Amino acid sequence: MSESIELNANQKAWLRLETFVAVMERARNLELARIGLNIPQAGVLYCLKISKEPMTPMKLARMMHKQPHTVSALVHRMETQGLISTKKDMKRKNWLRVSLTKKGEEALKRWVAASEVPDAMGCLTKRESEELYAITKKLHNKSLEVLRRMQPDPYTEPLFW
């Protein structure tokens, strides 16, 4: 006989939120696949477009809250597709600078135009939308706090014992 499990209100809310995000991500990836992109690629294109300074794969990883090796592989694949280009930094030879190509700019325009899934948020009233924004901002900040606690900066430890 299996033991029943009761979730508390926070766990139920988390499960609901996780399910919502999974469904919306799946729908968005299907929508973006029609224009030859996926969510992470669209994120890179957007970050490059809005950045006021030259971007490196490490800066992209931080902006996107992804592991550096994951973003490096993504950058490499996107460069192969012609969406972005990388160049060695002349001042800091071990740094790569990432920039949009013309093909990347065009893909970004197609991404903005593909709006069926984001427009699903239109079922919310203006007030609900504002409340959702405030709630998700609060949850984002708390999540970053938890993440920092769970995965501390490796450079905060002393170099020698």
Count of beta carbons in the 10 Å neighbourhood of residue 140: 11
Cβ-based neighbours of 110, under 8 Å, separated by 6 or more:
35, 36, 37
- Report yes or no on 108 lying in a domain: yes
- Report yes or no on 147 lying in a domain: yes
Q: How many domains does the chain have?
A: 2
Domain carrying residue 147: 123-152
Count of beta carbons in the 10 Å neighbourhood of residue 38: 14
Strand partners, 86: 98
- Report yes or no on 72 lying in a domain: yes
pLDDT in tens, the chain (161 residues): 688 899 999 999 999 999 999 999 999 999 999 999 999 999 999 999 999 988 999 999 999 989 999 999 999 999 999 999 999 876 776 788 999 999 999 999 999 998 888 888 899 999 999 999 999 999 999 998 998 888 876 655 555 55
Provide the CATH number for the domain around residue 73: 1.10.10.10
Cα separation of 50 and 48, whole Å? Answer: 6
80 and 129, same domain (yes or no) = no
Q: Are 100 and 93 in contact (CB under 8 A)?
A: no
Chain mean position to CA 37: 14
Query: Exposed, middle or buried: residue 42 (CB in 10 Å: 0-12, 13-18, 19+)?
Result: buried
- Report yes or no on 1 lying in a domain: no
Count of beta carbons in the 10 Å neighbourhood of residue 32: 19
pTM over 0.75: yes
